[in-house]
Every structure is written in structure tokens, then in C-alpha cells.
Structure 1
């Protein structure tokens, strides 16, 4: 629900926008190039106020922001930018697809702020460049139409996530969409339920500490100029060894949402579309604190062709080059999971802080898994010795879960809850054939 402080501040910003519009129209009528815009004090609480303070927005940048936000809360303000005949041209406005609403363009912002003052216009143009954080972090976008015109004639659109963030004073979890092709991973398990081989567990603890202590090292230890933002890790090893669960529990322990990227929606056969899909995904995730989990990541991050003679190999190599740069510049957490590390392009390994192997549980971990997962309703008969079982045949955690689930269903159907070593062998053999 909208808080009072957020509502009051946005209301004051909208009133300021109206005054600026009136001043600019007066300047145009009087032939003056510019009338100064004095911003209202940035007071109160809420994510919109925090955003302005955090990024040290100038009065002009604030005006761009509230202009982009206005259609969502006070669409009537846009009508004030129409000329005396009710036409759009004066401030280069456009109409929505339904023709029911007038929308601002980047050119609207330039006209409103700079008017005919060329030096001011050139300075304000920088707010619409790719390097400005408005676009670098996906806050704003200029949505071009098919009609011809300057680069500033497209709709000035505020990212939907920021609209929700500013108006409802809360960051909503993203839904699966073409712009964000990823699903939220959740589990009822806790960190203490994770059973890994000692070496793997130690590597995961080091990764957890590195993420938690990043700001301490950057600010208090003076390493900010030398260490990269975000964190990148490779999880590799056989299926069912806990890579997905570890990523999910790591997010839970760090207080971060983990999203499994749908590679089928990211990878495209058309040239350039895969890069565009990745760019949208990373832009939407930028500064949100998400952990992006690329399961079977070798489908996207596979090795480059050494002798790229045909166009497909050349395009694949170009994609890998783009991904290397995009991953390196991303300030969040990325985890690539693969069964075979050799399938990944070796250049990725050099750019990732951690490369962690998930192997089949050793006897000690296997025994702990069987004991933790074994339901009390199943009764082990004299032939079933778990210590002997884990030394003769290692099972992954996923396989153990499958075996126990199958045994439990059979026990319920037959009303016989006694389980022996032969039962486990029979079920495991059946599952291995599938």
C-alpha cells in the first residue's frame, strides 16, 4: 500500500512538474530561451526519495524522472503540454496505441528543460546516452516507433519495476515473461539440511563469505578499485549431486532471490536475438540482488569453435565474446551449472571467482543422507545395513530421494513397510534403466 510520505513527495514532484510546464510555455511565448527550474526539497521517506538521494539526481534529472512517471499517476498533466489548438507537436508528444492517452518522448524532456538553449540541450542529451545510469541500469527506455524521426522521438518509458517500486514503495518479485525468462527457486529446506562432501562444503562457505564481505573489502580494506562488483561461480559435477539445491539454499542464507534462467526462452536461432534476450535479463536483474542460476549452462556458454569456417561457428564465437563481456560487467551474482566443466568455454573459468565440484557423496555423506531422508514409517529389516550400503554403491542425493519415494509408495500399496537390502537394489536397478 502507498505510504503517506511517498504519496506526499510524489504529489509535490507532480506539482513542481506542472509549474515547470507553465514556465516553459511562458518562456516560449515571450521568446526567452530558458526559465530556471528550482526543484522542491527532497524530504521524507520512501524508495522514490531514496532513489533520488542515492543517485544524487540533479533538478533536471528529477524532472526527467517525474515526467516519465506522470502518465502512470497524473496522465492529465500531459495534456498541459499540448498547444492552444490541442496539438502534440509543440513538445513532441505522442499518443498511446489506443489514442486514449498522450505520452512524453525524450524530445519532450529536452524541450521542457532546454527549450531553444542549445548548450543546455546538449548537456541534457547526456541523460539519454547508454552510459548514463538511467539506461545503464534499465531505469528508463526510449521506445522508438516505426515512423522516422530523431533518436529522441520515441516514448520516454519508465521501467515497470521502478513504477511499482516508486508508487507502492516496495520491490515486487518479477514474473516470468519474455523480458525476464526465469523462474523463482524456493525450498523448505535449510542450510543445515545441505549435506556435501567436505571439500565442496568448504568451497561453498568461502563463496558465501566472499559475497557477504564484499563491501567490507571494497570500502574498509580499500580494495574497491581492484575487485569486481558481483560474483560469478561455476558448479559442475554429475546430475543429482545438489547443484540446484545449493544455489537455492545459498540465496536463502544470503537473503537473495534465486532465479533459474529458462535457456529455451533465451537461446534463439536468429542472429542477435540471444544477445538481446540476455541483455534484457541482465538489465532487469541489475541492482536487484538476484542470483541468476543457469542450469545446464553449457547449452549457452559452450566452447568456441577453434576454426570458425562457416557462419554458424562465427556467430557462436561472437555470442561467446558478448557473453564474456556481459557476465564480467554484471554487478549481481551468477551461477553456471553443468555436468561437464569441459563443455564450457575455458575463458569463462578465468572470469569466475569460484569453480566448485559437486561429486557423488562419499560414504560419510551418503550415510548422513540415507539417515536424514529415511522416513520412520519404513522399517529396515536385518539385511539392510546402511553403512555397508554406502561403501558398496554410492548414490546421489537425487537418487536416494527417488529410491525412498518408490519404496514408500510400494509399502503403502502393499501395506508392508519392511524394507531390505534387496528391495533397495531392485528399485535402484529399475530406476537406472529409465
Structure 2
């Protein structure tokens, strides 16, 4: 079924309910025919998940405002020509949207009328255990505590709106509701120069990403193994932690999202948990990698409780433990120092990967990998000696080449001079407060 066919089918269902309720005509709600549905993403979703008639109607109710904004008005007017209240039908007006937005009450009325037993059955579609909630497809907007739960709007996740209407899911952008940014790399595994032990541990994570679903489902280990995989990357800045996360995503056909902790952590009580909840809810049932860079800010050691602030800070850590342990995907925490991370987290990591500063062989390989192939080096420059003398990380080396390359272009030359290369190295040393030997 194409999205353009949704209004036609939903109209028949609603008119049938109106005939039953207003005119007492003995009509049946039209059965949903799953044959000849076509190959649209909407059809695939309905067939793959074996949706019932009630589930299809609720899904269509969530989708209809995005397809036909004025859909409900003419239908209701045909049966209430003189206007008037129609509280049984539910529905609300939006701030910008001028049509009727369906609520849980709308679904109950259309599918069950005034039959209390059927209304209870239909309400189950909005429970946490239902497919719609488990796959983060749709949900009821929370209402004020003094209003009925079913008076909340039926909200379809933005990704499913895109999928059903355009046939593809757009990548989420950073916002207050999703404090994360998708990061990518054009580099390859060969560009990642790590010590052998570190690379071996990275390959173990890649193995989990590739084969975990088979282990859980085909081998019947679901329920026996905790969902998800939790990893700590620790080591000095510039040693490849972020690049590794990007490469893991690239070579397993996933997206990696770097969490902006400045948008997550709040000084207001309860707001940090709220922001994290939005993040993990959005990431649920996705093949995303969540990358918490500089994770010390939120995953740091818990403190002794001296005041209310300490009490709530510790509650935030406990909440994080709960959400990370229940998340079914890969979560990577990155820290410059392993000792900064609370021990209650480290016990729960599946893997802790140390990123050490590169040794002489790794530094030489980094220089050789990152220097442009078509650019010459001054004859005075001996990479073996440069790698031996100057303790630089991969990020430092990239910065040096960047600086020296710009200077070379400015001088209208195709040869990187020893003077420019050493100036770039000196700048990197100065940034880190280190002295450089210029001999």
C-alpha cells in the first residue's frame, strides 16, 4: 500500500464507525486486505510485523496528519453539519497545525466505539510491551497528570514518517531532543596506526558488531547474555580513539553518533536524566554506535554525599548505569585517563582498550602514511630520525603536516623544507607545554 492510499482506507473505516454510532446502521468496519499491497516501505512494515487490523488503523492515524492535514474536518462535518462538541472522537488542535490531530481517544472511538471491553483491548497498542513502543514507532504524547492518558496525541517517530512517505530514513540532526552528531571518516583501517595489542582488542569489537545477532538469535543465547556491548577507550588525546569509532562504524555499515555532553549535562535537577532518556530512546533498536567523548564529565567518580547536589549527581551516574546496561547496541566511552572513570562503570565494561602514545615504529609509519605522495621532502629531513627524536601523537603529526603544507604552498614550492617542518613540530610541543630539542 502506498501512503497515498492511506486516506482512502482510513476514510472508509471512520465512516463505518459513524454509521454505527450516528445512524445505527448495522455495518462492519472494513477488513484490511494484505494481498496486493505493493512494495512500499509502509507495506513492507505492515507485512513483516504482521500487524492486525487495529494496529494498522492506529498506524494510519499517526501517519495521516503528515499526508492530509485537513483529513478529519470534512468527515466530522458530514455527520455533525451544525457543528457542536464531539468529545468521544478525541483529537486536539496543534500550535501551528490547523487541522485535527488524532489522540488515543480517537483510536479508541474508531476501533471500539463505546464498547468498554474492546476499548481496553485497543489501548494495549500503546503499552510499553507492544511492538510500536519496543521499536520506537509511535507513542502517546504524555499528558498533564489531571488529564486522561488517552487524550495524548498519537505521535509517529520522525524516522518512520520519512521512511513511509519518502521511502528512506533521513539522518537525525543535532538538537535539544537529540544531543548527538553523526561523525564519519574517509580514512581506512590501514591509516589507523596502533600498537598490536590495541588493534587486536579493536578487532574483537568488530567481531561483536558482525556476529552478535547470530549468537543471540541463531544460537539461542538471547536472554542468557546481556544486550549490547560496553567499551572504554582510554589514553592520551590524539591517539586514535575517535577515528577508531568511525572506522568500526564504516566497516560494519553503521552510523556513529558522538554525544555532545555540554547539551546533556544540566545543573537543574532531573534534566540530565531527561536528556539522556531522550538520547537512548532515540537510539533504541537502531544499529548505531554511541560515542561519549571526554566521558569523564558525566561518567566520573561518584562523590561522598555532602549536600543535595552530590546526591543528585550520584543519581545521574546510577541512571546512566541502568540505561547503558539495558541498551542493545555498542556504547563507547572515551577518556584521557582510565582512573577518572567511576569503578562501578569499569566493572560493567565488556572491553577496556588502552590507546598508548605511538612508539618510534608507529610514529615513522604515521609520518609515511600522512605525508602527501606528490610532495617532496627537503633532503635534510630523515623521517627515521624525526620519528626517533620527537614524541608526537597521530593528531600532532597531522597538525605538523598541515602547517608545513600550507607554508610550502605559500612559498609556491613543492618541497617541504626542514625549517617549516621543525616550526610545525615546535608549535605542537608548545601547545602541550613541552620543550623541544632543535639539534
TM-score after normalising by structure 2: 0.89
Kept after mapping to 2: 8 A contact 1:406/1:427: no
For 2:16 and 2:88, locate their aligned partners in 1 and report how far apart those are by CA, in whole Å.
14
1:267 Cα shift?
A: 1.1
Select the residue among 116, 119, 139 that pairs with 1:118.
Answer: 116
Structure 2 distance, partners of 1:70, 1:119, is 26
Please give the alpha-carbon distance, in whole angstroms, between the structure 2 residues aligned to 1:33 and 1:365.
80
Of 239, 246, 249 in structure 2, the residue corresponding to residue 248 of structure 1 is: 246
Structure 1 position 35, deviation (Å): 4.5
**1:248 deviation in Å?**
0.9
Aligned partner of 1:407 in structure 2 is: 404
Cα RMSD of the aligned pairs, angstroms, is 2.5
CA contact (8 A) 2:4 2:67 kept: no
> SS at 2:186's partner residue?
coil
Q: In the superposition, relative to structure 1, how do residues 21 and 352 fare at CA in structure 2: closer, same or farther (>3 Å)?
A: same
Q: 1:431 to 1:147 in 2, by over 3 A?
A: closer
Bigger mean CA offset, 252-261 vs 21-30: 21-30
**Contact kept in structure 2, 1:81 and 1:90, CA below 8 Å:** no
Instruction: Give the distance between the partners of 2:362 and 2:8, measured in 1 at CA.
Output: 64
Task: For 1:19 and 1:373, locate their aligned partners in 2 and report how far apart those are by CA, in whole Å.
Answer: 64
Aligned-residue offset at 1:367:
1.2
> Structure 1 residues 301, 432: CA separation in 2 closer, same or farther (over 3 Å shift)?
closer
Equivalent residue number for residue 279 of structure 1 = 277
Does residue 38 of the first structure (1) align with residue 34 of the second (2)?
Answer: no
Which residue does 2:19 correspond to in 1? 26
What residue in structure 1 maps to residue 347 of structure 2?
350
| Residue from 161, 164, 167 that aligns with 1:163 | 161
For 1:138 and 1:61, how far apart are their aligned partners in 2? 14
Q: Partners of 1:424 and 1:148 in 2: how far apart?
A: 65
Distance of 1:334 and 1:425 partners within structure 2: 35
Confirm whether residue 432 of structure 1 aligns to residue 426 of structure 2.
no
Partner of residue 171, structure 2 = 173
* Contact 1:233–1:336 under 8 Å retained in 2: yes
Shift of 1:55: 2.7
Point out the more displaced range, 239-248 or 31-40.
31-40
**Paired position in structure 1 for 2:417:** 418
Query: Are residue 331 (structure 1) and residue 324 (structure 2) matched?
Result: no
Report the secondary structure of 2:225's partner residue.
coil
Q: In the alignment, is the contact (CA less than 8 A) between 1:16 and 1:40 conserved in 2?
A: no
Deviations 1:67-86 (A, max 9, x none): 11111112343122455133
Alpha-carbon contact 2:258-2:293 (below 8 Å) kept: yes
Gaps of 5+ in 2: 435-439
**How many angstroms apart in 2 are the aligned matches of 1:54 and 1:281?**
27
- Structure 2 residue aligned with 1:235: 233
Distance 1:299 1:76 in 2: 47
- 2 CA distance for matches of 1:276 and 1:139? 20
Aligned to 2:367: 370
C-alpha distance after superposition, 1:21-59 (max 9, x if no partner): 112112213569994552221532232222223333221
SS class of match (2:231): strand
Deviation at 1:205, TM superposition (A): 0.8
Change (3 A) 1:281 1:312: same
Kindly report structure 1 stretches of 4+ aligned residues shifted beyond 6 Å.
Answer: none
Of 4, 7, 25, the residue aligned with 1:14 is 7
Q: Deviations over 1:127-165 (max 9, x none)?
A: 222332323443223235669521111221212221111
The Cα of 1:106 is off from its aligned counterpart by: 0.8
Contact kept, 8 Å, 1:34 with 1:115, in 2: the verdict is no
**1:295 is aligned to 2:293:** yes
Match of 1:225 in 2: 223
Task: Tell me the equivalent position of 2:59.
Answer: 65
> SS at 2:391's partner residue?
coil
Cross-structure match for 1:3: none
- Unaligned 5+ segments in structure 1 are 1-5
Q: Aligned equivalents of 1:77 and 1:411: distance in 2?
A: 64
* C-alpha spacing 1:425/1:167, structure 2 compared with 1 (3 Å): closer
2:34 and 2:47 in contact (8 A); partners too: no
TM-score after normalising by structure 1: 0.90
The farther-off stretch of 63-72 and 39-48 is: 39-48
- How far does the alpha carbon of each residue in 1:316-351 deviate from its partner, in whole angstroms, 9 at most, with x for none? 111111111111222222211111122122222233
